[in-house]
Amino acid sequence: MRYLLALCAVSVLALVSGCGGDSEAPKTTVTVKEGSSITIALLPKKKGIAYFTSCAEGAEEAAKALGNVTVIYDGPTDGSPEKAASMIEKWTLKGVDVIAVSPNDPSVLAPAMKAAQAKGIKIITWDADAAPDTRSFFINQATSQQIGEAMVDALIKDMGSVEGQVAIVTATLTAANQNAWIDAMKARLADKYPKVELVAIKPCNEDQKIAFQVAQDLMKAYPDLKGIFGISSVAFPGAAEAIKQAGKSGQVQITGLSTPNAMKNYVKDGTVKSVVLWNTKQLGFLTVLVAIAVKDGTLKAGATEFDAGTLGKKPVVGDQVLLNNLLIFTKDNIDQFDF
C-alpha cells in the first residue's frame, strides 16, 4: 500500500514538473546545484530584537527547504554600524558567497561592502537600502505606495463607511519615509474615497506623550473625527492610548504601522482593529532566495519578475525585488505573531 502511495506521489510529481517544463513561463525557480553548497551571511541592523529574529527564522526556513544552504545570522547586539562593518570584513575574509545587509548606517558600511564586492562576494540589501553602487539588489518589503494604500484601505474598512473626517499623526514633518507614505495616502484617498476628508497632519516628534496629546487635541478640534492614522511606531500607540482614555474606542478608528507585540493590548481591547506590517518571515525567506539567484546568476539586472517558489512570483522593479505582501494584524491573527 505504502509503495503504491509513493508511486502515485512520484508520478504526480513527474506530471507536475512535466507541466512546468511545457508552460511558457521562464524557469527561474531557485535551486542550489547538486553537489554545490552556498553560504549566505544575513546581517540585521540589530541582533536580538524580535523583528529581526523573526526575519532570521524565515531565512532559516528557506535554507532548510533548499538544502545545501548555510545561513549565518549575526549582527551587532547594540546596533553599532562599526561592528556591522567589521562583520562584513570578517565574512569577506572567510569567503562566504553572499552577504545580505540591512544597513544601520549605509555610509559607514559602504567601504566594507565595496571591498567585499571587489573580492567577488555578492552583496544585496534587505529591510533597508544602501547606495546602489554598494549592492546588486535590494529586497524591498513594500513600496511607499503599497504602505500608504494599505493603511488607507485598512482604516476605511475599520470605519465601515467611505465618508467622514480623518487625520494623520506623523513622526516629524520632515521624516522622509512618512512623507512618502502621506503622499501615497493622499493619492489613494483622492482616487478611491473622495468623500473622506483629511483634516489635519500633525507631528508627534517621535514622542509618545506628544502623540497622545496631539490625538486628544484632534478629537476636541474635530468632534466628528472618524479615524486617525498613526504612521510611526511611536505615533500609533500614543494616539491609540488617547482614543482609549477618551472612551472613544469604536467611535474613532485608528490604524497605522507597527509591530504586533506593541499593539496587542489595543487590538485585544478593541481600540485598534487593524495593524499594518509586512510578513517578516517571508522577508527573510525571500532574501535567501534572492541571494542564491544573484549568486548563480539567474537573477540579473533587467529582470522584471522573480519566481520565489512557495511565495509566488515577485515583481522586480529596477534593482529592487518587492516582497509585496503587507500583512494586516487583527484580533483574529495577532496572537500568531510574536515580535
Partner 1 sequence: MKSSGPNTNESWWRQYNYWHETVLAMLIVGLLLSASVLSPSFTTVKTQVGLSSDMWELALLALPMTLIIITAGIDLSIGSIMALSAVVLGMTFEAGANPWVAAMCGIMAGTACGVFNGLTVAKLKVHPLIVTLATLAAFRGIAEGISLGRPISGFPASFTELGTGTFGGVPIPGLIFGVLALLFAIALARTPFGLSIYAIGHNPLASRYSGLPVARITVAVYALAGTVAGLAAAIYVARRNTAKADIGTGLELDVITAVVLGGTSIFGGSGRILGTLLGVLAIHQTRKFVGWYWDREELNFIVVGVLLIAAVLLNRLFDKKTK
Site residues (CB under 8 A) for partner 1? Answer: 41, 47-48, 72, 74-78, 80, 82-83, 85-87, 89-90, 92-94, 105, 107-108, 110-111
In the complex with partner 1, which residue's Cβ is closer, 1 or 118?
118
Say which residue the cell 513561463 belongs to: 25
Minimum gap (Å) between residue 190 Cβ and partner 1: 35
What's the rounded Cα separation, in Å, for the pair 339 and 333? 13
Question: Which 3 state secondary structure label does DSSP give 210?
Answer: helix
What's the rounded Cα separation, in Å, for the pair 66 and 86? 29
In the complex with partner 1, which residue's Cβ is closer, 64 or 90?
90
Question: Which 3 state secondary structure label does DSSP give 177?
Answer: helix
Minimum gap (Å) between residue 229 Cβ and partner 1: 28
In the complex with partner 1, which residue's Cβ is closer, 128 or 200?
128
Say which residue the cell 548563480 belongs to: 296
- Interstrand relation of 225-230 and 253-256 (parallel, antiparallel or unpaired): parallel
Q: Which residues pair with 124 in a beta bridge?
A: 100, 137
Question: Which 3 state secondary structure label does DSSP give 42?
Answer: strand
In the complex with partner 1, which residue's Cβ is closer, 57 or 105?
105
Minimum gap (Å) between residue 295 Cβ and partner 1: 19
In the complex with partner 1, which residue's Cβ is closer, 86 or 245?
86
Sign of CA dihedral 126, 132, 136, 137: positive
CB 187 within 8 A of CB 150: no
Minimum gap (Å) between residue 111 Cβ and partner 1: 5
Minimum gap (Å) between residue 233 Cβ and partner 1: 20
